[in-house]
Amino acid sequence: MSKILFATSEAHPLIKTGGLADVSSALPIALKTLRCDIRIILPAYAEALKNIKRLKTVANIILPGLPGYVEILQGKLPNSNIKVLFVQYEPAFKRPGNPYTDAQGNPWADNAERFSLFCRAVTEVAQNRVGLNWQPDVIHCNDWQTGLVPALLSLEQTRPATLFTIHNLAYQGLFPHATFQALGLPPSLWSHNALEFHQQLSFIKGGLIFADQINTVSPRYAEEIKTAEFGYGLEGLLKHRQSALTGIVNGIDDKLWNPATDPHIHKHYDSQHLTDKSDNKDYIQAAFKLPIDKSKLLLGFIGRLVEQKGIDLILSLLTQIEQLPIQLIVLGSGDTLFETQLKTLAIKFPRQFNCKIGYDETLAHQIEAGADALLMPSRFEPCGLNQLYSLHYGTVPIVHHVGGLADTVIDANDKTLALNQATGIVFKQPTNTALLMAVNRTIALFANQHTWKKIMRNGMNSRFNWRKSALQYIKLYKTALASVAKI
């Protein structure tokens, strides 16, 4: 089967800020099971290297304009047989913390330099010019940090096929024109048919213009980004490329996210033993210092505290929490203003609301296991993983009808309840009123435990496995390869 080089800026469990990391390990693992010869390539962040046991230098590259060598290190993705190539250039990647921001949450000032260096190194590996004796057939690029790879490859006489996956169009890698010049990129790439976007350098355009195939992480998001509402000014370009643009929904890594085996959770359970789930509810209520009360509907939220995720809607819901028979727990980090407002409300409503500000993998699993329902009022959502995890954990998702949320959750209405297909609560508009109505509908459904358990079981029985999605990716690789053969 094809040789795939999977280029990404994060991969679980090496380094993670969001869903991209989950996809960047689970998809390669699924592809490997389907006999693809796949290698991941990642910047050698200090944090990521900590988790690698045996690491060896396999190549040294000289990149134009860069003093010294860029090293290619090789290790294995933990708990797998997948080779990971790390691009090491210490001034760029040997620093603490987040791949994209400093401890205060400000983007690293040299992000353009860091990720263009990464893209140049990926291009060298892709062209088999670093002495690895391994020529990939397809380079699978992910998000703006890898966007220059298809652009640079387009300048080569012969090259592998390219697929560019958009995990979130809101993040585009935009920099001033001066940065384009400072990076020493070929002048031919400065054009509105290439990397220029309103006089700025756009990394993501490198993927959107030059990749042989483009996909997003859900079919609905692939449609939405062709509209002005979700396209960020790129909708015209995406419409132009629509014959090469598809959507493939993400899956769940069942080894990591499975309530019957999850090492992080208090008590294991499955769809036949739902009473054991309620022990997890007691546990998480206690962990969040809320009254332990099985009869209260417990809502959870896990995620980045940014506008995309509809945090303002959650804050508005909180102002009315005393009128509602619910408790709410939030785990997340992000915008300082949201963090502060949530902490203040936790002090105001200690019997009904609490939050943990920060990133905590174990707690995320415990919330999925312990909450009755999971809130995802995102204003846009390319795929969303938490609603998939919550379906799997019998934690009923309450979602805005957008992107991957609309593609994966079936609203509990008269028809779907009668057909026993309902898996969650879906609301149409991202407004305070619509969210409040959805929560009231959830309260009513929860009051009828017979119906509620049916919804839980439907969710637990829905299958979002990576094998299915990986097969679709293999098809896409073949389409990309066929289009290169025609060049």
Interacting residues toward ligand ADP by CB under 6 A: 18-20, 22, 302-304, 331-333, 359-361, 364, 383-386
Q: Give Cβ neighbours of residue 426 (< 8 Å, ≥ 6 apart).
A: 399, 400, 401, 405, 406, 409, 410, 411, 438
Tokens of 281: 């509810």
Q: Of the two residues 19 and 160, which places its CB atom closer to ligand ADP in the complex? A: 19
Amino acid identity, position 377? P
Q: Of the two residues 127 and 333, which places its CB atom closer to ligand ADP in the complex? A: 333
Q: Is 229 exposed, middle or buried (0-12, 13-18, 19+ CB in 10 A)?
A: exposed
Q: How far apart are CA 75 and CA 55, in angstroms?
A: 5
Cα angle at 67 between 65 and 69, to 5 degrees?
Answer: 110
Q: Of the two residues 22 and 137, which places its CB atom closer to ligand ADP in the complex? A: 22
Least distance to ligand ADP, CB of residue 181, Å: 33
Q: Of the two residues 116 and 378, which places its CB atom closer to ligand ADP in the complex? A: 378
Q: Of the two residues 117 and 330, which places its CB atom closer to ligand ADP in the complex? A: 330
Q: Of the two residues 384 and 424, which places its CB atom closer to ligand ADP in the complex? A: 384
Q: How far apart are CA 258 and CA 292, in angstroms?
A: 24
Work out the widest C-alpha separation in the chain, in whole angstroms.
68
In 127-260, alpha helices (H)? 148-153, 177-182, 203-210, 219-224, 228-231, 235-240
Least distance to ligand ADP, CB of residue 250, Å: 7
Least distance to ligand ADP, CB of residue 217, Å: 8
Q: How far apart are CA 485 and CA 58, in angstroms?
A: 30
DSSP conformational letter for 323: G
Which residue sits closest to ligand ADP, CB atoms considered?
19
Least distance to ligand ADP, CB of residue 176, Å: 27
Least distance to ligand ADP, CB of residue 40, Å: 18
Q: Is the peptide bond before 13 cis (omega within 30 degrees of 0)?
A: yes
DSSP conformational letter for 106: P
Least distance to ligand ADP, CB of residue 242, Å: 24
Least distance to ligand ADP, CB of residue 257, Å: 8
Q: Of the two residues 28 and 303, which places its CB atom closer to ligand ADP in the complex? A: 303
